[in-house]
């Protein structure tokens, strides 16, 4: 995006000086909060980072919502993948521009937005969602953020364990409550050498997934979790915040290999793990 001036209809993240935020649209008319009123028609033509003054003299800054800002503003009817974990899906799942990605389920569409961004216009994302109401909700969330239905997204209402799909993909992304049931059927769509990335909040789920992955010709099975701790930094303090989101879920990444009966898959070490002495 080169011109950073807001156009009518664009999403705007109004941000107070204390950091409270509201997601609105430029040109939408009057907007009221505890800080007073502003006219959102006044946002049109302004630049990101400028501010408006409310009728009570408070300042509200104008920003385009980042993906992180946006996903925390979604009307979430399902658990979503948090941004810290989205980053891991993309990097440890090695999701690249041009990749074909199959994901299930779509839930609120948060992770789908990160996947669409990672594969870019030359890639594709196919989302399989069993519940039509979540498919519809996610579609609305995606279109609202992107401003239009993305051309590189296909949404299929069905069960990932049985839906017939005619596609071969580079990456398979699972965020369903029982991913171990999906590993066998969905991995038929995954090309050899392709990566599967699965997310589960409970370690019992992860154990079942890992067992199934090994039974279906996957190697290099790695499971990890990521902890994000914010810090308070100002003139007086430099220390971690008292509270944090201590747990979201475990991420399992595995690589599909060509398997010959009786052959043991290669043991691949995590390059980030410390080398044993
Ligand atoms: C936790 S939500 C996914 C959240 C999503 N990743 C996000 O970031 O917004 C899990 C979704 O999987 C769907 N689901 C559960 N079992 C499924 C199955 N067998 N096939 C397809 N979708 C399924 C649920 O309906 C739900 O929408």
Average pLDDT over residues 128-155: 98
Task: Give the model's pLDDT for residue 272.
Answer: 84
pLDDT tens digits for range 160-187: 999 999 899 999 999 999 999 999 999 9
With contact defined as beta carbons under 8 Å apart, do 129 and 156 qualify?
yes
Q: Could you tell me which of 83, 75, 15, 6 has the C-alpha nearest to residue 46?
A: 6
- Sign (positive/negative) of CA torsion 181, 182, 185, 188? negative
Is 184 labelled as part of a ligand binding site?
Answer: no
Q: Could you tell me which of 90, 95, 86, 91 has the C-alpha nearest to residue 272?
A: 91
Residues 90, 15 share a domain: no
Q: Is the pLDDT of residue 2 over 60?
A: no
Residues 131, 51 share a domain: no
Q: Where does residue 89 fall: left (phi above 0), alpha (psi -120 to 50 degrees), or beta otherwise?
A: alpha
Q: Is the pLDDT of residue 1 over 80?
A: no
Domain harbouring 203, CATH code: 3.40.50.150
In a domain? residue 199:
yes
Task: Give the model's pLDDT for residue 264.
Answer: 75
Span from the CA of 209 to the centroid of ligand 1 (angstroms): 16
Task: Give the model's pLDDT for residue 211.
Answer: 97
pLDDT tens digits for range 25-75: 999 999 999 999 999 999 999 999 999 999 999 999 999 999 999 999 998
- CB of residue 120 inside a 6 A radius of ligand 1: no
In a domain? residue 262:
no
Task: Give the model's pLDDT for residue 139.
Answer: 98
Residues 125, 33 share a domain: no
Residues 100, 24 share a domain: no
Q: Is the pLDDT of residue 141 over 80?
A: yes
Q: Please state the atom number of ligand 1 nearest to the C-alpha of residue 111.
A: 8
For a ligand 1 pocket test, name from 84, 105, 134 the mutation site with the most ligand atoms within 8 angstroms of its C-beta. 105
- CB of residue 115 inside a 6 A radius of ligand 1: no
Q: Could you tell me which of 162, 149, 148 has the C-alpha nearest to residue 104?
A: 162
Q: Which domain holds residue 153?
A: 69-256
Residues 151, 129 share a domain: yes
Q: Could you tell me which of 59, 102, 252 has the C-alpha nearest to residue 190?
A: 102
Residues 160, 102 share a domain: yes
Domain harbouring 26, CATH code: 3.10.330.20
Residues 84, 183 share a domain: yes
Give how far Cα 277 sits from Cα of 149, 270, 274, Å.
53, 15, 9
Question: How sure is the predictor about 266, in pLDDT bands with cuts at 50, 70 and 90?
Answer: confident
Span from the CA of 50 to the centroid of ligand 1 (angstroms): 39
- Coil, strand or helix at 41: helix
Residues 93, 195 share a domain: yes
> How many domains does the structure of the chain reveal?
2
With contact defined as beta carbons under 8 Å apart, do 199 and 81 qualify?
yes
- Coil, strand or helix at 246: coil
Which protein residue's CA is at the shortest distance from atom 12 of ligand 1?
105
Residues 92, 16 share a domain: no
Q: Please state the atom number of ligand 1 nearest to the C-alpha of residue 109.
A: 9
């Amino acid at each position: 995006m080169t011109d950073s001036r807001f156009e009518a209809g664009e999403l705007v993240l109004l941000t107070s000086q204390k950091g409270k935020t509201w997601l609105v649209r430029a040109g939408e008319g009057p907007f009221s909060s505890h800080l007073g009123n502003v006219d959102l028609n006044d946002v049109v033509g302004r630049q990101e980072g400028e501010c408006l003054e409310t009728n009570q003299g408070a300042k509200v800054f104008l920003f385009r919502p980042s993906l992180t800002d946006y996903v925390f503003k979604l009307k979430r009817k399902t658990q979503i993948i948090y941004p810290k974990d989205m980053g891991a899906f993309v990097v440890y799942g090695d999701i690249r521009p041009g990749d074909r990605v199959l994901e299930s389920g779509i839930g609120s569409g948060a992770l789908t937005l990160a996947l669409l961004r990672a594969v870019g216009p030359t890639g594709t994302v196919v989302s399989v969602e069993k519940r039509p109401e979540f498919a519809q909700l996610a579609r609305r969330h995606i279109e609202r953020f992107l401003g239009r239905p993305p051309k590189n997204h296909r949404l299929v209402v069905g069960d990932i364990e049985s839906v017939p799909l005619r596609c071969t993909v580079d990456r398979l992304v699972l965020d369903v409550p029982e991913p171990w049931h999906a590993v066998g059927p969905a991995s038929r769509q995954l090309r050899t050498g392709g990566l599967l990335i699965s997310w589960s909040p409970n370690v019992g789920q992860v154990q079942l997934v890992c067992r199934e992955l090994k039974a279906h010709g996957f190697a290099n099975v790695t499971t990890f979790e990521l902890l994000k701790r914010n810090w308070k930094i100002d003139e007086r303090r430099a220390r971690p915040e008292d509270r944090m989101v201590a747990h979201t879920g475990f991420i399992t990444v595995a690589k599909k290999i060509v398997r010959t009966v009786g052959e043991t898959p290669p043991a691949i070490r995590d390059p980030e793990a410390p080398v044993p002495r």
